[in-house]
Amino acid sequence: MPETEDNKPAAAHNDDELSPETRRQIKRRNFLSFATFFTAGGAVYGGWRWLYTAPPEKPGITAGTHKPLRRALNKTELFFRNFFSNNHLVKTYPKAMAAKKVRVNSDIGIEDKNYNMAAWQLQVVKSRNEVLKITIEDIKALPKTEIIYSFKCVEGWDQIQHWAGVRFSDFINHFGLQEQAKLSYIGMETPNKGYYVGLDRESALHPQTLLAYEMNDEPITEVHGAPLRLIIPVKYGIKNLKRIGTITFSNTRPRDYWARQGYDYYSGL
């Protein structure tokens, strides 16, 4: 009778036929895979417990997360900052693609409907005892730069928008702030100090970063941050402070409204 699948001798599949050596090997492998499974599982659980019970950060510039997570965030920041280059530009679009109905997100620090816009002046803290006071006319007299790009909010929306104003780096040079701008950070706050952001100097000096006073070729409206707001395309919306009141320079991180609630301080794109 010819050999088929059905009548093949079963011997090769019969455990009884395995040599003692093969049996030992199978036992050993079974043991190893279970041991690996439980050890790895234990490590994952241990790691999670470690993270979960790790002390939270001290409230301050940043807060709201466990310390190891912040260390990871800071490492991520360093990684991305190494890649950051002022020659790398954010993608821009033709003017016709800019939204006519520009989204309004939040109004922290600019809620006051009776704000005296005419009295507005930008205060630039040069040193402990020197504060520059700059009017909107002074700023409009500088070369105007426009940008049409995709504005991105961490809350999950983005929109192609058209802004114009003075390049922050042009502003620095015009007002003789080159020395101050060598410090690592720039802080910006609303006139009432209700909203504030901290920026690393490289991002602030990026050629697409603007102190903007126009949106869609018109003066910026109150809800969008009149008379002057920050447009910093290399960052998420949270850093794009509306209605700038003061600008400061420092080597330590300036306070940052959303970083205090646990958001990433760098918030780069």
Ligand X SMILES: Nc1nc2c(c(=O)[nH]1)N[C@H]1C(S)=C(S)[C@@H](COP(=O)(O)O)O[C@H]1N2
Which lies closer to ligand X via its Cβ, residue 54 or residue 121?
121
Q: Where are the alpha helices (DSSP H) in 19-59?
A: 20-53
Burial 121-136 (b: 16+ CB within 10 A, else e): bbebbbeeeeeeebeb
**CB of 134: closest distance to Mo ion in angstroms?**
27
Measured between its terminal Cα atoms, the distance across the chain in Å is: 74
* DSSP designation for 143: P
Other C-beta atoms closer than 10 Å to the C-beta of 118 total 7
Measured distance CA(20)–CA(262) in Å, rounded: 61
- Assess 242 for contact with ligand X (CB under 6 A): yes
Q: Is 105 or 246 the residue whose CB approaches ligand X more closely?
A: 105
Report d(CA 259, CA 263) in Å as an integer: 5
Nearer to ligand X, 169 or 267 (CB): 267
CB closer to ligand X out of 123 and 174: 123
Contact predicate 209/201, CB 8 Å: no
The answer to whether residue 235 forms part of the interface with ligand X (CB under 6 A) is no
Residues numbered 19 to 78 that lie near ligand X (CB under 6 A) are none
Q: Which of residues 142-161 bind Mo ion (CB under 5 A)?
A: 153
Residue 183, binding choice from ligand X, Mo ion, none, Cβ under 5 to 8 Å by partner class: none
Tokens coding 63: 């807060």
Cα gap 259→85, rounded to integer Å: 23
Q: Which of 198, 233, 237, 268 binds Mo ion (CB under 5 A)?
A: 237
Span interacting with ligand X, options 9-17, 73-81, 104-112, 175-183, rule CB under 6 A: 104-112
Give the residue closest to ligand X by C-beta.
237
| Residue 247 within binding range of ligand X, rule CB under 6 A | no
Map the footprint of Mo ion across residues 38-97, applying CB under 5 A.
none
Size of the site for ligand X (CB under 6 A): 18
132, β-bridge pairs = 124
Range 100-139, binding Mo ion (CB under 5 A): 105
- Contact residue for ligand X among 70, 162, 167, 224 (CB under 6 A): 224
CA distances from 109 to 62, 94, 144, 218, 222 (A): 19, 32, 27, 23, 12
Interacting residue ranges for ligand X, rule: CB under 6 A: 103-110, 153, 190, 195, 224, 237-238, 240-243
